[in-house]
Structure 1
Amino acid sequence: MSGVRKVVTYVEDTLIEGGKAAPRPLRMVATAAVMTSPWAGKGFVEDLRPAILEWAPVLADLLVPRLIEAAGGKDAIEAYGKAAVVGVNGEVEHASALIHTLRFGNELRQAAGGTSFLSFTNKRGGPGCSIAVPMTAKAQENHGSRAHFLTLEFTIPDAPGPDEILVAIAVATGGRPHHRIGDRFQDMAEMGVDQKGDKL
Structure 2
Amino acid sequence: MTPEIRKIVTYQEDILIEGFKAAATPWRMCAVAAVLTNPWAGRFVSDLKPEIMAFGPILGAELTARITEICGGGDQIEAFGKSAVVGLDGEIEHASGLIHTLRFGNHFREAVQATSYLAFTNTRGAANAPIQIPLMDKHDAGRRSHYLTVHFSIPDAPRADEVVVALGAATSGRPHHRIGDRYQDLKDLGHDLDNPAAI
The residue that corresponds to 2:5 in the other structure is 4
Indicate the residue corresponding to 1:153 in structure 2. 151
Q: Is the 8 A contact 2:3 2:37 kept in 1?
A: no
Q: Does 1:61 align with 2:74?
A: no
Give per-residue Cα distances to partners, 1:58-113, cap 9 Å, x unaligned.
Answer: 11121110000101111111110000000000000000000000000111100111
1:27-106 → structure 2 map (5 Å cutoff) = 27-41=28-42, 43-106=43-106
**Partner of 1:176: helix, strand, or coil?**
coil
Q: Give 1:175's aligned residue.
A: 173
Give the partner amino acid of 1:10.
Y
Regions of 4+ moved over 4 Å: none
For residues 189 and 179 of structure 1, the distance between their equivalents in structure 2, rounded to whole angstroms, comes to: 19
Instruction: Provide the secondary structure at the position in 1 that maps to 2:103.
Output: helix
How far apart, CA to CA, are the structure 1 residues paired with 2:68 and 2:196? 36
Helix, strand or coil at the partner of 1:88? coil
**In structure 2, how many angstroms separate the alpha carbons of the residues matched to 1:2 and 1:79?**
27
Same amino acid, percent of matched pairs: 55
Once the two structures are superposed, what CA deviation does each residue of 1:14-42 show, in whole Å capped at 9, x if it has no partner? 1101100011111011000000011124x
CA distance in 1, matches of 2:196, 2:96: 30
- Give me the whole-angstrom Cα distance separating, in 1, the residues matched to 2:40 and 2:196: 42
Shift of 1:190: 2.1
Partner of 1:23: 24
How far apart are the structure 1 equivalents of 2:133 and 2:106? 17
Counterpart-to-counterpart distance in 2, 1:151 and 1:36: 26
Shift of residue 197, structure 1, vs aligned partner? 6.4
Q: Distance in 1 between matches of 2:77 and 2:120?
A: 17
Matched residue type, 1:26: W
The 10-residue stretch of structure 1 (183-192 or 103-112) with the greater mean CA deviation from structure 2:
183-192
| Distance of 1:197 and 1:64 partners within structure 2 | 31
- RMSD of aligned residue pairs (Cα, Å): 1.3
Give 2:181's aligned amino acid. D
| Range 165-174 or range 2-11, more displaced | 2-11
The alignment of Structure 1 onto Structure 2 pairs a total of residues equal to: 195
Which residue, 155, 160, 172 being the options, matches 1:162?
160
Show CA shifts across 1:134-175 (max 9, x none).
011001xx2211111100000110000000000000111111
Cα deviation for residue 192 of structure 1 reads: 2.0
Q: TM-score, normalised by structure 2?
A: 0.95
Instruction: Using structure 1 for the length normalisation, give the TM-score.
Output: 0.94
What amino acid sits opposite 2:17 in the alignment?
I
Structure 2 gap segments, 5+ residues each:
none
Q: Tell me if structure 1 keeps the 8 A contact 2:3–2:55.
A: no
Residue 189 (structure 1) shift: 1.9
Residue 2 of structure 1 and its aligned partner are, at CA, apart by: 6.0
Paired position in structure 1 for 2:127: 127
Q: Which amino acid letter does the alignment assign opposite residue 15 of structure 1? A: L
Q: Could you list the runs of 5+ residues in structure 1 that have no partner in the other structure?
A: none
Secondary structure of residue in 1 paired with 2:179: coil
